[in-house]
Amino acid sequence: MRILIAMMKHETNTFSPIKADWKRFQDWGAHLGENALKAYEGTGMPFGAYVELARAMGAEIVTPVAAEAMPSGPVTEEAYNRMAEPILEAVRSGVDAAMLDLHGAMVAEHTDDGEGTLLEKIREIDPDLPIAVTLDLHCNLTDKMVRNCTALIGYKTYPHVDMYEVGKQIGKVLIDAMDGKVTPVMSWGNAPLLSQTLRQGTDDEPMATLIRLCREAEKEPGVLAATAFGGFALADIRDSGNSVIVVTDGDQKKADEVRDRILAKAWELKEDFIYQHTPLKEQVAKAKTMTEGPVLLLDHADNCGSGATQDVMTVIEEVLNQGLEDVAVAAVWDPAAVQEMQKAGIGNKITLKLGGKTDMPSIGEVGEPLTVTGTVKTLTNGEWIVRGPMYTGVKVFMGPTAVLDTGNMEIVIVSNHHEPWDTGVFTSVGIQPEYKRYLILKSRIHYRAGFAPIGKATLTLDGKGVTTSDNNLLRYEKVRRPIYPLDLLNEA
């Protein structure tokens, strides 16, 4: 038995000016062949779960590639092919099954459906190959993805702390199908709903209700997997938005019924999927009155974990202007600033034009650096291993990293984009976040994986950036219409 296990992941923000070229995947960690196996075996990723299942079967494991990059603009065709071709070549060489760790919102220069295109090409080579697929909760599900695999599932948590579990669940379905124990059939559909990522936390309503319905459905006889995808609204493609997929053991009618039940609830809750804004100055002023820390301040419009530039200084400037003290920031992307701090050396004072290096034409914004003065506190290579519940065991490469201490604020400055979902973003540079009064995090929901246990309160700060939750700033051209909230739809 030869089992192909591969990872090919990118969440594409089509409004982002950051290019997803091959170097961006290498910066995160693009591994080929045996190096892919070494990098992800034993981790809390679907890839790790697949390997464990394959080893238990005594199968020969083929790992052509494991590649991921932080979200950004469309993937270049070259980068896409560097990931896809090793997978296709492995299929050509002959395998008995494939277990794929994908995302579901990959847009490339030559295709709006990166995952569907890959799966279709696999099926062209081997039409009967058993294929299991895990997808991110923010997947924009397409018919091409579903038609070209055997069984498909998505994460049920955001932050994504169940990646290993769903990988094991769908991998087991595939193995049982190969053994003749089950006959997977799938039913999927989407709602005319373009919900916002900031409203998709699975500990919160309305997403909590949809996840509960999925878990309840999986307890019903014959239901092998049920997934409610929040979708990724910042990918302007036809199929963006909320969707549902159900896998049953040979019962198409049951799959359709469960699908329709969950989709109907998503539509019923549509208004709750839209974020309500509060003026930035008002929120920072509110934060200043909070005495017990850490207070988590979310600079969510500049979240590189959804494709933002991570160098917008709007929120940081307002916090400094209002005089908040004992603040730590994770993180500002500015490789040039890091180089200046390296030249200055630890303990020396420096004035920087920090951030604001990237224009954002899709929302009509130009980069605006902020002049800050402080002391170079720390310099590191930016490498550390995640010990928290999300991406457990995975090595992080922030690139050359520095900490600037302004007196009131310690700013972590990185050379590679990295969303702060684990406290290691601070502890790796000598900051103990649990003792800070305020933590500014360029994150939306993933911060909860590492920081929810220590945060005493959380405020969303509506700054600028291409992960904005203000639909008035985004020009959609490809998404199917009509769709809520871009169009007001009747209940019927």
Alpha carbons 189 and 211: distance in angstroms, whole number: 16
Alpha carbons 100 and 122: distance in angstroms, whole number: 11
Q: Let me know how long the chain is.
A: 492
Alpha carbons 35 and 51: distance in angstroms, whole number: 14
Kindly report the average pLDDT of the chain as a whole number. Answer: 97
Statement to judge: residues 232 and 319 lie in one domain: no
DSSP code for 12: B
DSSP string over 141-156: --HHHHHT-SEEEE--
Statement to judge: residues 163 and 266 lie in one domain: yes
Q: In this predicted structure, what is the pLDDT of residue 488?
A: 78
Q: Looking at residues 127-132, what average pLDDT do you find?
A: 98
Statement to judge: residues 301 and 259 lie in one domain: no
**Which residue has tokens 């959804």?**
306
Q: Looking at residues 168-174, what average pLDDT do you find?
A: 98
Q: In this predicted structure, what is the pLDDT of residue 490?
A: 59
Q: Looking at residues 164-181, what average pLDDT do you find?
A: 98
Here the CATH number for the domain that contains residue 84 is: 3.40.50.2300
pLDDT in tens, 449-471: 999 999 999 999 999 999 999 99
Residue ending a domain, among 224, 239, 273, is 273
Q: Looking at residues 320-349, what average pLDDT do you find?
A: 98
Domain that holds residue 454: 280-468
Domain count, the chain: 2
pLDDT in tens, 423-435: 999 999 999 999 9
Q: Looking at residues 364-376, what average pLDDT do you find?
A: 98
11 in a structural domain: yes
476 in a structural domain: no
3-state secondary structure of 284: helix
Residues 6 or more apart whose Cβ sits within 8 Å of residue 445 = 158, 159, 197, 198, 200, 201
482 in a structural domain: no
pLDDT above 60 (res 11): yes
Q: In this predicted structure, what is the pLDDT of residue 23?
A: 97
477 in a structural domain: no
pLDDT in tens, 62-112: 999 999 999 999 999 999 999 999 999 999 999 999 999 999 999 999 999
Quick one: what percent of the chain has pLDDT higher than 70? 99
Strands 401-405, 243-249: pairing kind: unpaired
What pTM value is reported for the model? Answer: 0.96
**Which residue has tokens 């939750």?**
469
- Tokens at 317, concatenated: 């400037």
Alpha carbons 356 and 370: distance in angstroms, whole number: 7
Statement to judge: residues 38 and 23 lie in one domain: yes
Q: Looking at residues 412-426, what average pLDDT do you find?
A: 97
481 in a structural domain: no
Statement to judge: residues 238 and 319 lie in one domain: no
Is the bond preceding residue 294 a cis peptide, omega within 30 degrees? yes
Q: In this predicted structure, what is the pLDDT of residue 9?
A: 98
E strand intervals along 43-93 = 60-62, 65-68
Statement to judge: residues 182 and 63 lie in one domain: yes
Residues 6 or more apart whose Cβ sits within 8 Å of residue 323 = 288, 408
Q: How far is CA 103 from CA 71, 115, 403, 483, in A?
A: 11, 8, 32, 23
Statement to judge: residues 340 and 227 lie in one domain: no
Closest CA to 3 of 131, 98, 125: 98
Q: In this predicted structure, what is the pLDDT of residue 492?
A: 39
Residue ending a domain, among 273, 303, 337, is 273
Statement to judge: residues 206 and 129 lie in one domain: yes
Statement to judge: residues 50 and 180 lie in one domain: yes
Q: In what order do the strands lie in the sheet with 295-298?
A: 349-354, 370-380, 401-405, 409-414, 327-333, 438-441, 295-298, 457-460
* Radius of gyration for the chain, computed over Cα atoms and rounded to the nearest angstrom: 22
Statement to judge: residues 64 and 149 lie in one domain: yes
Residue ending a domain, among 240, 273, 306, is 273
474 in a structural domain: no
Whether the CA torsion 158, 188, 194, 16 is positive or negative: it is: positive
Q: In this predicted structure, what is the pLDDT of residue 489?
A: 65
Statement to judge: residues 226 and 314 lie in one domain: no
**Which residue has tokens 């603009």?**
73
418 in a structural domain: yes
388 in a structural domain: yes
Distance of CA 103 to the CA centre of its chain: 8
Statement to judge: residues 175 and 38 lie in one domain: yes
pLDDT in tens, 223-235: 999 999 999 999 9
